[in-house]
Structure formats: structure tokens, C-alpha cells
Amino acid sequence: MGSTGDSGNGKAGWWCRRSSSPSSSSTASSSTPSRTFETRDPRTGDVLAHIAEADKADVDIAVKAAREAFEHGKWPRMSGYERSRVMNKLADLVEQHADELAALDGADAGKLLTLGKIIDMPAAAQMLRYYAGAADKIHGESLRVAGKYQGYTLKEPIGVVGVIIPWNFPTMMFFLKVSPALAAGCTVVVKPAEQTPLSALYYAHLAKLAGVPDGVINVVPGFGPTAGAALSSHMDVDSIAFTGSAEIGRTIMESAARSNLKNVSLELGGKSPMIVFDDADVDMAVSLSTLAVFFNKGEICVAGSRVYVQEGIYDEFVKKAVEAAKNWKVGDPFDAATNMGPQVDKVQFERVLKYIEIGKNEGATLLTGGKPTGDKGYYIEPTIFVDVKEDMTIAQEEIFGPVMSLMKFKTVEEAIEKANCTKYGLAAGIVTKNLNIANMVSRSVRAGTVWVNCYFAFDPDAPFGGFKMSGFGRDQGMVAIDKYLQVKSVITAVPDSPW
């Protein structure tokens, strides 16, 4: 488990028992001192590191440290300004260590090294700074209470927050949840995905260097059914912030309900539509649509995996999309010329290939890709299917791989109906020059984010989250801070009030 420190009990952060994870300076203290798990390099399938495995007993210790830091530590009692200074320092450190951190996520998750350095790490620092800026602007309201009373609300930190995150964006997921929680004055216990624990451990180390007090950020690397379940069912955790699959989101809600009814926010899967209208610039639409589904090997919850193209440009679009997919360079994520690295692990690799088989068996036509590539590792060719029907598995289920389902439509109404025809509602893309269509479709699509003539345009100030089974609660934006705050009403009698 990673911890920013000893939370006053004399034990240092102890996340690296006998392990070869990135920093091992901390001393050990655990009920299960010798258990480790392997994290593997998806380029080769080889073991990258042995990581100390947190189980229920470790989670208990981490929650205790977080509780102690919350109830008696200085973090929730500091001024917002003081917290913001520490958070800004941490942002500086993330930037200063961007090369190592991008390499860790590259080796652990198969993510592109170059993009890690220029996108993920700067975005993580920006997220921290955005919420650092909010830390001294958290305020309640004055209330117009009837009778001889006066009232106001206080916004107080919700307490100990359990953060459970997936492997596709190990860095961004960490800071998406941890930054607003820190700004609010909460303490956190983070369980990174078992596939990608490395950078989270590094962040615990950097947090200590930045001056985050002991016990405020704790990292418990381990598996979902053990460490994750221990966190979501813990009686002393006040809130869970989760990103992952709808299936596990449901499990987490059940655990929360059965334990202490803790607050839950869920950012779950997606099957996002990309809708391309006849008036679009076809080259631009093709490059946006291929990016939308092949970026990060399709391992992104907002992947534009269903592409609807209006009939007038459909044939030209298909031809150009296939060319673009063939030119998408698959290879070593540490090579600057690579567009797409390997899937994160063997499980995911086999899962994507299985979906491709299902697509073929259900009658979709495979136009390009569909096979593994390279002589080792978990690489899959960028894949395009046509003749896809709405009820096919590949049009309904989240594949989380580089697989595009291309479909034709005639009218705007048909596009809207088809776009809304899944259980998910995370994001949607629209490509058109017609402002009226863009606005009308934006209002009609049931999705938490709509991108018009762009895709993946994220900003810390733009709330992000899902409709329907893509979850509830929002990350990013000022609204996300509310997940980590409680509202308290204070009513005071004013017996001699003149009103």
C-alpha cells in the first residue's frame, strides 16, 4: 500500500514490501507481509514488476490511516489556500517527473510514451491546479429562513474517500478523483487497477515530497474482489468514486448499500456514437472517426465505436476509413512513430479478438484488420466492420478495443434514434457544418458529453460523466467538488429579530 506517511502512528508509508515497484524507500507494515502480484509488460507479456498485494487487512490499515488523518490531521483543517499550495507543488512534481511517469504508464499499460509526456502528464498537472484553484473558493449560502431565525450552509469534506480506478488511463483516473477530493479537504484510499499499479505508487511518493500530510493519500494495489471489495464494503469509508465497467459498478453499489450506505459515484462504460452528416468534409470526418475509436487502442470509455454515416457520403467514407485504418501504425508504444500500442493484457487481448469473432459470426462484414499483429505481445490490427445491425453484439457491447462498427443512415431522425439505441450514454460525436443539425442532435442525444466537429476535447472545467447505464455523478468541473463535500444547514435563533 502506498501512503503519504504514518498518520501519526509511527509507521511510514508501506506500499512496497519486498517488491520491485518503482520506489521502495518505505518501510513495511502489514498483516500479509509477503504476498505480491505481477504486473506485466503488454509489449511482450513478460513480468515487469512484483507488487505488494493489498488485501482486506491492508485496506483496513489504509482506511484507519485515512480516518486518523481526516479526524485529527491538519489537511481538512488547513485553509483552502494552504491546501492549494501543496496541490500546486504536487502538480509541479508531476511535470518534473513526466518522463518517468509516462514510461511507467507506457510499460504498464502499453500507452504511447510521447503522448504520455505531452498529454497525460500535463493534463494531470492541470487537473491538480484547476482544483487547487478551487480549494479556497468552497462556500455555502446564506438562507432566508422564515421566522426569527437566520440560516446558512456549510460545505464540509465528506470524509474518507475510496477511489477505485481502471487501467486505461492510470494517471488521469488517479487525478480525476484525487484532485477534487484533496481540494475539498478529504483523505483518500486509492485502489489502482491490478494491471497498472505503478504510476499510482509513484504518485504516493510524489505526494509525500510535495508536503501532502501523512495518511492523506493512501494507495492499496491489489485485486478487485479482494482489495476493491474491502474498500467498497468498508464501514468506515464515507464515499466511493469509481470508474470501470457497469458490471463492477453494480457490485460496488450493492456493497455500499449493504455496508454503511456510503455515497457512490460511478463513471462506467460507453458505446458512443459518432454521427457524420452528408455535408461533412469527408477527410476530416474520417480522421476524427478513426481517432475516436483507435486512440489508446480503443481502450477508452468514450471510444466512438459506432460510426453512423449519412448515405450520400457513405461509400467514400468507407473507402477512406479503411485506408486510414491500414495506415494507422501499430507497434511499440515507446517508438515515437507508433499510433497504437498493445492491448493492456492477455485477458483484454483475447476479449477483443472474441468480439471480432462474434461480429463475423453474427453477419457483419470485416473490411480490414481483425487479427493479432506482431510476433509477441498483445497487438491487434485496427479493425472495421460494415453491414452492422443495431442489435448485433458488436453494436451494443463495449469492446474496449480498436474495433469500429460502421453503419449507414438516411435522415437526421434516424441518426438520433440509432445513436440512442444502447444502454449506455457517455459521449457522442457529431460531424456537420449545419449549425441547426449540430444543435438539434446535441440536444437529442442522451449522452453526458457531446463533441461537435471534434472528439476527445477534454477540459478540467467541462463536467464529464454518463447518462443511462454509463453511470452517475460527474468528474471534472466545479460540480465534481460536490461529490466530496457534505452540505450542512446551520439555523440560529434570533429571538430579538426585528423581522
Pairing of strands 149-157, 485-493: antiparallel
Catalytic residue among 53, 68, 267, 299: 267
252 part of the interface to ligand ADP, by CB under 6 A? yes
45: left (phi over 0), alpha (psi -120 to 50) or beta: left
∠ CA 374-376-380, rounded to 5°: 50
Residue 171 engages ligand ADP in binding (rule: CB under 6 A): no
Q: Counting contacts by CB under 6 A, is residue 425 touching ligand ADP? A: no
Catalytic: 267? Answer: yes
User: Does position 251 bind ligand ADP by CB under 6 A?
Assistant: yes
| Cβ distance to ligand ADP smaller for residue 76 or 342 | 342
Considering the rule CB under 6 A, would residue 193 count as an interface residue with ligand ADP?
Answer: yes
Nearest distance in Å: CB 163, ligand ADP: 9
And the C-alpha cell for 201? 505508487
The footprint of ligand ADP on this chain (CB under 6 A) covers a number of residues equal to 17
- Regarding 245 and contact with ligand ADP (CB under 6 A), the answer is yes
Specify the DSSP element, H or E, that contains 45.
Answer: none
Give the Cα separation of 69 and 439 in Å (integer). Answer: 48
Q: Which of 5, 162, 166, 170 binds ligand ADP (CB under 6 A)?
A: 166
> Quick one: which segment of 94-102, 218-226, 445-453, 456-464 binds ligand ADP (CB under 6 A)?
218-226
Measured from the CB of residue 268, what is the shortest distance to ligand ADP in angstroms? Answer: 8
3-class DSSP state of 31 = coil
What CA–CA distance (Å, rounded) separates 115 from 492?
54
Least gap, CB of 95 to ligand ADP (angstroms): 26
134 lines the binding site for ligand ADP (CB under 6 A): no
Q: Name the closest residue to ligand ADP (Cβ).
A: 224
Stretch that binds ligand ADP, among 17-25, 35-43, 46-54, 225-233 (CB under 6 A): 225-233
**Sole window of 147-155, 224-232, 366-374, 476-484 interacting with ligand ADP (rule: CB under 6 A):** 224-232
Judge residue 463's burial from the number of C-beta atoms within 10 Å of its C-beta, 0-12 exposed, 13-18 middle, 19 or more buried.
middle
Q: Which three cell numbers, joined as nine digits, stand for 330?
A: 501499430
Given candidates 110, 185, 228, 270, which one binds ligand ADP under the rule CB under 6 A? Answer: 228
Q: Checking phi first, is residue 84 left (phi over 0); if not, alpha (psi -120 to 50) or beta?
A: alpha
Instruction: Measure the CA–CA gap between 397 and 423, rounded to whole angstroms.
Output: 9
Pair 490, 468: CB distance under 8 Å: no
Smallest gap from residue 55 Cβ to ligand ADP (A) = 13
Q: Which lies closer to ligand ADP via its Cβ, residue 191 or residue 208?
A: 191
What is the rounded distance in angstroms from the CA atom of residue 281 to the CA atom of residue 174?
A: 37
Nearest to 91 by CA among 121, 58, 50, 53: 121
- Could you say which of 147, 225, 312, 363 contacts ligand ADP (CB under 6 A)? 225
Nearest residue (CB) to ligand ADP, 249 versus 460? 249
Out of 204, 229, 280, 428, which residue is the one contacting ligand ADP (CB under 6 A)?
229
Instruction: Report the candidate in 393, 348, 337 with the shortest Cα–Cα distance to residue 372.
Output: 348
Indicate whether 244 belongs to the interface with ligand ADP (CB under 6 A).
yes
Complete DSSP assignment for 201-224: HHHHHHHHHHTPPTTSEEE----I
Q: What is the DSSP letter of 77?
A: G
CA 318, CA 186: separation in Å to the nearest integer? 50
Q: How many CB atoms lie within 10 A of CB 354?
A: 13
> Looking at 3, 4, 171, 232, which residue binds ligand ADP (CB under 6 A)?
232
Which window, 7-15, 84-92, 132-140, 160-168, contacts ligand ADP (CB under 6 A)?
Answer: 160-168
Nearest residue (CB) to ligand ADP, 164 versus 419: 164
Q: In angstroms, give the least distance from the CB of 353 to ligand ADP.
A: 16
Pair 305, 271: CB distance under 8 Å: yes
Cell of 182: 484533496
3-state DSSP call for residue 154?
A: strand
In angstroms, what is the minimal distance from the CB of 224 to ligand ADP?
2
Q: In this structure, are strands 273-276 and 160-164 parallel, antiparallel, or unpaired?
A: unpaired
Least CB distance to ligand ADP at residue 249 (A) = 7
Which residues are catalytically annotated? 267
Binding site for ligand ADP (CB under 6 A): 164-166, 191, 193-194, 223-225, 228-229, 232, 244-245, 248, 251-252
